[in-house]
Structure 1
Amino acid sequence: MSPSDATHRSALLLVVVALACLSAGCVALPDEGVSQDHLEDRFAETEPPEELAATVEVTETVDGEVTTHTETVWLRADGTSRIETTEDGSEMVIVNDGSERYFHDREADTVRSYEIDSNATPYLEALYEQPERYVEAYDVTDIEETTVDDRDTYHVTFDPPANETIDRSISVQLGPDEYVLPLETSEVDTAERSADRVELWLDRETMFPVKHSIAGDGIELETTYRALSFDEPLDEALFEPPEADDGSEPDEFVFPTITNHESVDEADAAAPFTVAEPETDALPAAVELEEISRYEFHDENRTQVTLSYRNGDGDSVAVTTSDGQRQFAIGGQSIDVGNATGTIVHTDEGTELQWSCDGLYYSVFAGGGYGSETATAIGESLPTEC
């Protein structure tokens, strides 16, 4: 897991019964049934607990292939947190001590950190803010009383808006600054998989979203909080910065500088290399150049320029020139690109083709609406005679 993954927001929502009793007293619901206005009021008056501990199970099913990972989380209302995650045998510890976020890769025994934005929303607070957003954006189609991990819950089913795409990331980060549940939708690219079912299970006493499920177009994502504990004092040692076994100081994450350019010529003049531009007849029909971005990775002493193309249906193509190797298309199939030898990888998001030539590295990404032929045709219109 890395601090770049990620993507954004998380879980929650409603109740309906004639009467719901909370620890603070009994709250009467409208006789006519579910009122989204009432739900907004109910969530607005619900305060997050001061501390929470739980085990989180995350399951992702894509076209019948199931992957899972487990996280143990300790969260505080003041923003400090600790997350221990295991995936494919790799263990990562992520600690937020209030000013820095630390990432301890236990397998490699490395620690990296970066300073936290002082305006970042604490993970625990974000979990309680999301219900209001769902209530405002989605229609509730069903609510029933059930249990999850021996907790009484409200099982709420939503009808998500059309043309919202599934964010498939299973990271627990929202950008570089705050944690959230990973299972959600975002209005990004209508060519990608869309959600047709969103379900939430809310703890009836605390209104905490103990389970979240979203499905559509061959994909299903599910997060479940188990062994939940609220407001029990957490050991201060949990939130101390992790240390590598050799006692070395953490390496600081250095985020890239990103500059957008108005033209390829402008980007070419700013980059320390010649920016590769694909031939027009090699590009798919109707795509247009949408963005030209130059990235400077200071910790890698590397620069890359990416030309991003998109058509009216949301299908995308990206062409990148770099003076250092990018960690994409690794472990894929070998393929000839001109007289260069490259690597091609097929993922649920699209096809990535990469090769090197005369000390520069080139890559082509063809989104899900395109395939290998598109990526290869674009690639062969770039520098390949090495």
Structure 2
Amino acid sequence: MLASDTVPSLALPALALALLLLMAGCVTLPNSGPTLSDLEREITAAEPPDEISATVEDRRTVDGETTRYTETVWLRADGASRVETSPTDRDAGTVIVDDGDRRWHYDAAHDWATRLETDPDATPYLEGLYAQQARYFEAYEIAAVEEATVDGRVTYHVTFDPPANETIERSISVLIEDTEYVVPLATSEREAADRSADRIEVWYDQETLFPVKQAIEGDGVTLERTYRNVSVDGEIDDERFAFDPATDGNGTDVESVTLPSIDSYESVEAADESVPFAVAEPPADAVPESVERDSITRYEFPDENRTQVSIRYRTPTDETVSVTTSDGPRRFATGGDAVAVGNTTGTIAETDEGTELQWSCGDRYYSVFAGHALDDGTALRIGESLSTGC
């Protein structure tokens, strides 16, 4: 999410760094408080408490349009969590419950629940909040530190200076540990990915070093998340982390989702040897000169009895091209208009993110995705280069 190719050095001696920033007039720490080096060390080494519950206020402003919503969260360090989003004039509210083994996502507007097994390697929500703070200190320089109060809690208010051209997402989830698996609460508009962050601020509770408030601002976007009524180690009832669709979901229908297993490979040959089908790799002249191969990944979907291998390419500006070979059709395949792909017929569709081309050949299924910033004919050109003999 927020990542930097250049990690600014924060290794100046504490006194020198403090004097430098004080001369610039941008640090106001209490006389009895920690030095900047001590503060950085304490926050990056901080361990989450066993439990935290709070009311969370989210405010998002995108191009002058502001959206507000409220969540109630119960979080445990062992991975259990419950997040209830309050109804708004646009949304009937959602409930996400994770007991550490499985996650429930209940959508009240559609009276629909999804159950999926929790990835055992995924970082727990609460741990992820703390881990994100270490990455801020690793990646960004400190622009200012001062003492401030948030909802009655005395905090260290830290302002970070992001590198130039750092991008932000429309969702506030940029402030939370990112994992391979995400239950989406909203979708992003394509142009939001190109917005840069000018300011990142975090308010750390001095007692627990929990980030009770976080804010990002830049290029017409302001994201702000504030934790109020914070209770630490309040012995949350185990029932909070249980979900029964018959009662909590008003008897709604339940869809069970099994997460895929994921393996990465250094070469197409290695990926090819791991599956019972030939992995399609486009010839070099079919791929835009601006892209370089970024990853080769195999996914196994147990609930679909399907395996796929995806080769992903990336441009310096993070536009992507992906080529996927599968031994079965995708459950949530994108539709589109009929189009000739070599000697067969496929479908092509324009999505918010880019162009997606799909076709099948015998018992093999193929798809090509190309980001919007690439040439309009990229997906079809790659598809045609792979369809020989079909």
Post-superposition shift, 1:300? Answer: 0.6
User: 2: distance between equivalents of 1:29 and 1:137?
Assistant: 24
**Residues 42 and 289 of structure 1: CA distance in aligned 2, closer, same or farther (over 3 Å):** closer
Deviates more, 1:361-370 or 1:269-278: 269-278
Residue 11 (structure 2) aligns with: none
Instruction: Look up the match of 1:321.
Output: 325
Of 295-304 and 253-262, more deviation after overlay is shown by 253-262
In the alignment, what sits opposite 1:11?
none
Give the whole-Å Cα distance in 2 for the aligned partners of 1:68 and 1:371. 37
Amino acid at match of 1:18: P
Looking at structure 2, the residues matched to 259 and 78 of structure 1 have their Cα atoms a distance apart, in angstroms, of 28
Q: Does 1:362 align with 2:363?
A: no
Corresponding residue for residue 351 of structure 1: 354
TM-score by length of 1: 0.69
Report % sequence identity: 45
Residue 342 of structure 1 contacts residue 356 of structure 1 at CA under 8 Å; is this kept in 2? yes
Q: How many residues are aligned here? A: 346
Q: Which of 269, 294, 298 is the equivalent residue of 2:302?
A: 298
User: Which residue of structure 1 aligns with residue 265 of structure 2?
Assistant: 260
Give runs of aligned pairs for residues 157-306 of structure 1, distance below 5 A: 157-162=159-164, 164-166=166-168, 170=172, 174-175=178-179, 193-204=195-206, 206-217=208-219, 219-244=221-246, 251=256, 253-258=258-263, 260=265, 262-263=267-268, 271=275, 273=277, 275-306=279-310
Gaps of 5+ in 2: 4-25, 184-192
Shift of 1:116: 5.8
Task: Show CA shifts across 1:157-179 (max 9, x none).
Answer: 21123465435555566426999
Shift in alpha-carbon separation, 1:353–1:80, aligned structure 2, 3 A: closer
- Partner of residue 55, structure 1: 55
Aligned to 1:102: 103
Q: 1:204 to 1:268 in 2, by over 3 A?
A: closer
Shift of 1:283: 1.9
Structure with larger RCO (C-alpha < 8 A, sep 6+) = 1
> What is the one-letter code of the residue matched to 1:56?
V
Contact 2:113-2:252 at 8 Å conserved across structures: no
**How big is the shift at 1:370?**
1.8
Shift of 1:308: 2.1
For the Cα contact (< 8 Å) 2:113–2:254, is it kept in 1? Answer: no
Question: Of Structure 1 and Structure 2, which has the larger fraction of its residues in helix?
Answer: 2
- Judge conservation of contact 1:202–1:208 (CA < 8 Å) in 2: yes
TM-score (norm 2): 0.68
Runs of 5+ consecutive residues of structure 1 not aligned to the other structure: 1-5, 9-13, 20-27, 180-190
RMSD: 4.4
Letter paired with 1:84: E
Q: Distance in 2 between matches of 1:261 and 1:271?
A: 15
More strand by share: 1
- For 2:360 and 2:157, how far apart are their aligned partners in 1? 56
Cα distance, 1:50–1:371 mapped onto 2, change above 3 Å: same
Structure 1 residue corresponding to 2:347, chosen from 339, 342, 348: 342
Q: Does 1:373 pair with 2:377?
A: yes
Q: Secondary structure at the match of 1:372?
A: coil
